Structure 1
Amino acid sequence: MPSLPAIHHQPTPRLPGAIELAADVFDRTTEHIHAFHRAIAARPFAPLQATPALGHAVAPIRVLHDGITDAVYRGVRDGGAIGFGVATGIARLLARRDGTAPPAAAPHLDTATSALAGLIGDHLAGRRNPLAPRFGLYRNGLCIGRDADSLRRAYPDAQPRLALFVHGLCCNESSWQLYRDPSRPETRGYGERLQAIGYTPLYLRYNTGAHISQNAERLARLMKTLDQHWPVPVEEIVLIGHSMGGLILRAAAAAGLRRSDAWTRKVHALFCLGSPHLGAPLEKGVQALTEVLQTFDLSRPWAGIFEARSVGIRDLRHGATSSADWRRGVHAPQRLAQLPGVRYHFIGSSMGRDANDLIGHAVGDGLVRLPSAQARKLADADTATLFRRHHMHLLNDPEVGALIEARLLRTRPQAAASRIGSSKKRSTASRC
C-alpha cells in the first residue's frame, strides 16, 4: 500500500481523553457503590422503623447515618473530580505543546479505543471525549479528508468502481485484516481481492456506540460527497458490512434512496456478513437480565452498570428495525426500503458442523443466529451459510472472499449493460 503524503488529520489528545474517561469511571463507580451501600443499610432500618415501639427512636439514627454516608461519598466524588481535573489540565497543556508533531498511526491504541467506544461510545461523544472514534474514511490508520484534493492525494490510483467496507461493533477498519497470514495468499483481505479485479477499497471508521441510525445518516452524506468529489467519475459502488456494519449500510442506502441521492443509483451490490437483521440474542439477554435486576433493591445498583452500555449495543436488540425507527420507539419487524435493481447478499455462519447441528441452532455463530443473519422474511436477498465459523471469522475468510468476488464478477456485465442503457437514455433526454 503506498505512503500517504497529504492525509487530513488532527492530532488526537489521547492522554487528556483517557484521564477524562478515568474521572467518569471513578465518579460512576463511586455512585454505584454509594447506592449499594444505601440499599444494604436500608435492610436493617426498615423493619426497625416499622416496629411501633422503636420507629421514633430509629428514625433520627437513620437520618444521621444517611447524612454521614452521603457526605463521605460526596467528598470522595468531589475529591476525585478535583484530582482528575488537575491531571486533565496538565495533560491538555502537554498535548498542545506536542500538537505540532506529525501525525502517526497507533494501531494498538486505535483497537483499544474502538473496543471501548462500542461499550460507551455514546457517552464519549456526549462528553466530547477525544477518545471517541472520528467518523470517516481511513487508510493506513489515518483519517482522510472529504474534499477532492485530499481524495486525489490519498487515492492516486482511484478507480471508477468503489468497494466500501463497514466494520461491526467494537471494531475498526483494521479488523478486516484479522486472520491474515502473509505466507498464505488466500488469506488476503477482501479489499485486496476486489482491488485485483478493478475496485478501489474504502474503509470506514465510526463510533459503534452511537445509534445505528445516526451513523447511517452520516454515511449517506459521506457517500454523496464521495460521489461528487471522487478523482474519477464513479461508475459502480459495492457495499460490504460486517455485523452492525451491515445494518448501517442498509439504513444508509434507504436514507439515500429517500432523498433520491445519485450515489444510490450506482450501487451494484450490498453484502451483509453476519448482520443481526432480526436482533442479536446476547443483547436481548442482557436487557432481560437488567430488567430482572431492577426489580430488587439490592440488585438495582448492579442493573445500573448494565444500563451504562451504549445505545449502539441497545439498537442491536432490534436489528434492522432500530436503524429506521428508534426515534419513534417503534420496533415492529418491517422491511427497510431496498435499492431498486440492487442485489442484496446476506451471508451467515454457524459454529455447528452442518445445518442439523444443535449447537448451530442454539448459538449460531456465537453472537448472531442464522435466521437473524439471513432474514429471509424481511428482505429480498441472496443468502449463503458457512459452517464451523464463528462471528469474527466472517471478517476475513477465504471462502467468503471467493464468494463475494465470484458474485460480483458474475453480475458485473449485467450491471454494466444497465448503466450503459441508462446513460444513453440520459444523453437522449439532454439532446431534446
Structure 2
Amino acid sequence: MRSDELEAVGETAARAFQGGVGHVQATHRTIARRVFGATSVLGPTATTVGRVHDGIADGVYAAVRGIGGLALRGAARSAAVVRPADHDLPALTDRPLGDALLGALGGAFGSRFAAEDSPLALRMTARVAGRDVLLEPADLRRAFPLPSGRVAVLVHGLCMTDAAWERGGDDEAYYARRLHRDLGYDVVSLRYNSGRRIPQNGAELASLLERLVAAWPGGVRDLALIGHSMGGLVCRSACAVGADTGHGWLEPLNDVVTLGAPHLGANLERAAATVHWAAGLLPETRLFADLLELRSDGVLDLRDGAIVLDDLPLPVDRWPWGERGTHVPLLEGVRHHAVGTTMARDPESWLAANVLGDLLVTPSSAASRARGERRLAFEEDDVVILGGIDHLALLHHARVYAHVRRWLRPRGALPAAGGTGDGVVEGAAVRVA
C-alpha cells in the first residue's frame, strides 16, 4: 500500500480497536454495578470492593486502549517508512483484493471516511475496463475509438465497486460486454462511495452525467442507466436532481433499469433498526446498540429508500416499519424498468414476495407495490419478478440480462435470439407484475 493508505488503515484500525475496548469497558462496568449493587446489602465492605474493582478495571482498560492504539498507529507508520517509493506502487483500488476491501469498508464507514477526507474514501469516477476515464473528449475517444452514440451507465450497489459487475460469472455473463455486442452500447461503469447518503451520490451522479454527455465524442443520442440495489436508488435520485436543475443529459435519457432496488425500503435495514432499538433498552445490551449505531448514512437511507435530502433516517426510538419518505414520481418521457428476485422457486407466494425476497430486498419493494402514494407508475410490461435468484446474481444472471436486453433493444426491433417475450420464461418461475 501507499504511505497515505497505510497510515489511514492504521488510524482506522486504531480507532476501531479503541472504540471496541471502550464498548467492552462500558458493558463490564454496567454488569459490575448490577453485581455490587445487589451485594450492597452486605454493608459498606461490598461498596468499597466495588469502587476498588471499578478503579482497577478502568485503569486496565485505559492502558489496553492506549497501548493498542499506539501500537497499531506505530506499526502502520513504520511500514510506511520502509515501503518502496509511492510512484512504484499501485493504489489499493487498482488491486482486486484492495478494490473489494475498499468497497466493503466504504459501504460500512464511507460517510466517516468522506467527512475526514480519508485516502480510503472512494471518489465518484467514471470507469472503463477497470480504469478511471476523464470526462474529456480526448480521453473518451481513446476509450471508445468508434463511439456509437448509445451509452449505458452501470451503477453498483452497497459495499461494492464497479468491479462487482465482472465478478461471479464468466466473460459471457458480463453485462458490459453483452450490451456492447448485442445492442451496440458503449458501457461506462460508475464507482462511488456507497456509505454516503444516497441523495448526495445522486446529486454527484447527475453532475457527472452532465459532463459525460457534454464531452461524449459525436454526442449521445440514447442514454440508459442501469442500477443494482442501492445503485438503482442513486439513479432515481440523479434523475430527480437533473429534472429540478434542468440538466441537459436528460434529453438523451431513454431508459432507467433498476435491479433489486429497494424503492420502498429494505427490510434487512428495518430489522437492524429494530434490533438497535431493542438493544438500547437495557444497559447490559447497550454494546450491541452502539455497534449498530455505526451503520453508515447510506445504509440508513436504505431503510425507507430515501432519494431526496429531506428524507432523514428516523430516530432510533421510532418504529422503523412502514412506508415513509417523499414520493418522487418516475420521469415522464423516460421508460423505467424494474427487476425483483426471490430465492423461492415460486415468486407468486406471499412469503416470497413480502418476506424472503432475494435475502436483502423483497420483490414488493423492488417492484414498488405500495398501497399509498409512493407506488411508482411502472408499466405492466416493465416489471418482472424472477424466482430462484439471489441479490448478487442480479449483477450477471442470464435470465436477468434477457429482460434488460429486451427492454433496451431499439424500439421497433425484433427480439434478439434467446430473448424473452412478455410473461413467462420457459423453465423458470417468472411473473411480470
Q: TM-score, normalised by structure 2?
A: 0.84
Q: Which amino acid aligns with 2:22?
A: E
Question: 1:238 corresponds to which residue?
Answer: 224
Per the alignment, do residues 395 and 317 of structure 1 end up closer, same or farther by CA in structure 2, a change over 3 Å counting?
same
**Residue 211 (structure 1) shift:** 1.1
C-alpha spacing 1:60/1:102, structure 2 compared with 1 (3 Å): closer
Cα distance change of structure 1 residues 11 and 143 upon mapping to structure 2, 3 Å threshold: farther
Residues 187-217 of structure 1: CA deviation (Å, up to 9, x unaligned):
4322222212221101011111111111111
Matched, 1:88 2:76: yes
CA contact (8 A) 1:36 1:298 kept: yes
Which residue number in structure 2 is paired with residue 38 of structure 1? 29
CA distance in 1, matches of 2:10, 2:65: 15
Does residue 371 (structure 1) correspond to residue 364 (structure 2)? The answer is: yes
Q: Residue type of the partner of 1:146?
A: L
Letter matched to residue 360 of structure 1: A
Q: Decide whether aligned partners of structure 1 residues 58 and 252 sit closer, same or farther in structure 2, where only a CA change above 3 A counts.
A: same
1:23 is displaced (CA, Å) by: 1.1
Tell me what 1:385 maps to: 385
Q: Which residue number in structure 2 is paired with residue 424 of structure 1?
A: none
1:352 matched to which residue of 2?
344
Mapped partners of 2:410, 2:342: distance in 1: 26
Amino acid in the other structure paired with 1:325: D
Q: 1:147 to 1:387 in 2, by over 3 A?
A: same
**Is 1:100 matched with 2:92?**
no
CA contact (8 A) 1:347 1:385 kept: yes
CA distance in 2, matches of 1:126, 1:211: 12
- 1:396 and 2:396 matched: yes
What is the Cα deviation at residue 298 of structure 1? 0.8
Partner residue in 2 for 1:137: 126
1:110 aligns with 2:116: no
Distance 2:309 2:364 in 1: 20
Letter of the structure 2 residue corresponding to residue 367 of structure 1: L
SS in 1 for 2:340: strand
Shift of 1:161: 1.6
Distance (Å, rounded) in 2 between the aligned partners of 1:200 and 1:150 = 14
Structure 1 unaligned blocks of 5 or more: 1-9, 414-432
Q: Secondary structure at the match of 1:354?
A: coil
The within-5 A match list for 1:174-189 is: 174-182=163-171, 187-189=172-174
Q: Secondary structure at the match of 1:352?
A: coil
Distance 1:214 1:278, change over 3 A: same
From 47, 58, 69, the equivalent of 2:57 is: 69
Deviations 1:239-268 (A, max 9, x none): 000111001100111011100000012210
CA distance in 2, matches of 1:327, 1:302: 23
Amino acid across the alignment from 2:133:
I
Change (3 A) 1:307 1:399: same
Aligned length: 395
2: CA distance, partners of 1:94 / 1:354: 58
Between 219-228 and 331-340, the greater mean CA deviation after superposition: 331-340
User: What SS does the corresponding residue of 1:349 show, helix, strand or coil?
Assistant: strand
Q: 1:271 aligns with which of 245, 249, 257?
A: 257
C-alpha separation in 1, matches of 2:412 and 2:86? 47
Q: Secondary structure at the match of 2:336?
A: strand
Contact 1:106 1:141 in 2 (8 A): no
Task: Specify the SS of the correspondent of 1:164.
Answer: strand
1:341 aligned onto 2:326: no
Aligned partner of 2:11 in structure 1 is 20
Question: Any conservation in 2 of the 1:248–1:323 contact (CA below 8 Å)?
Answer: no
Correspondent of 1:122 among 98, 111, 116 = 111
Residue by residue over 1:250-295, the C-alpha shift from the partner in whole angstroms, topping out at 9 and shown as x without a partner, is 0111011100000012210000001111111111111101111110
Distance 1:100 1:181, change over 3 A: closer
In structure 2, distance between residues paired with 1:145 and 1:62: 63
d(CA) in 1 for partners of 2:146, 2:52: 73
| Structure-1 separation of matches of 2:65 and 2:357 | 44
Counterpart residue number, 2:156 = 167
1-structure distance, mates of 2:283, 2:349:
42
Of 8, 26, 29, the match for 2:20: 29
Question: TM-score when scaled to structure 1?
Answer: 0.84
Distance 2:221 2:159 in 1: 32
Per-residue deviation at 1:178? 3.3
Residues 329 and 377 in structure 2, CA contact (< 8 A), matched pair in contact too: no
| Distance of aligned partners of 1:17 and 1:144 in 2 relative to their CA distance in 1, 3 Å threshold | farther
Q: Is structure 2 residue 66 aligned with structure 1 residue 78?
A: yes
Distance 1:128 1:334, change over 3 A: closer
Larger displacement relative to structure 2 (229-238 or 79-88): 79-88
Aligned to 2:427: none
Q: Write the distance in 1 (CA, Å) between the matches of 2:395 and 2:85.
A: 36
Matched, 1:203 2:189: yes
Q: Which structure shows the bigger proportion of residues in helix conformation?
A: 1
Aligned partners of 2:248 and 2:202: how far apart in 1? 17
CA distance in 2, matches of 1:280, 1:323: 16
1:367 and 1:143, CA in 2 relative to 1: closer, same or farther beyond 3 A? same
Residues 132/163 of structure 1: CA separation in 2 closer, same or farther (3 Å cut): same
Once the two structures are TM-superposed, the CA of residue 91 in structure 1 deviates from its matched residue by 3.6
Residue 329 and residue 252 in structure 1: after superposition, are their counterparts in 2 closer, same or farther (change >3 A)?
A: farther
Return the letter of the residue paired with 2:6.
L
Q: Provide the C-alpha distance between the structure 2 equivalents of 1:282 and 1:243, rounded to a whole number of angstroms.
A: 13
Distance in 2, matches of 1:94 and 1:126, equals 29
1:258 corresponds to? 244
Deviation, 1:69, is 2.3
Alignment RMSD (CA, Å): 2.5
Matched, 1:294 2:283: no
Q: What residue is the counterpart of 1:422 in the other structure?
A: none
Once the two structures are TM-superposed, the CA of residue 62 in structure 1 deviates from its matched residue by: 3.6
State the AA in 2 paired with 1:77.
R
Identity %: 33
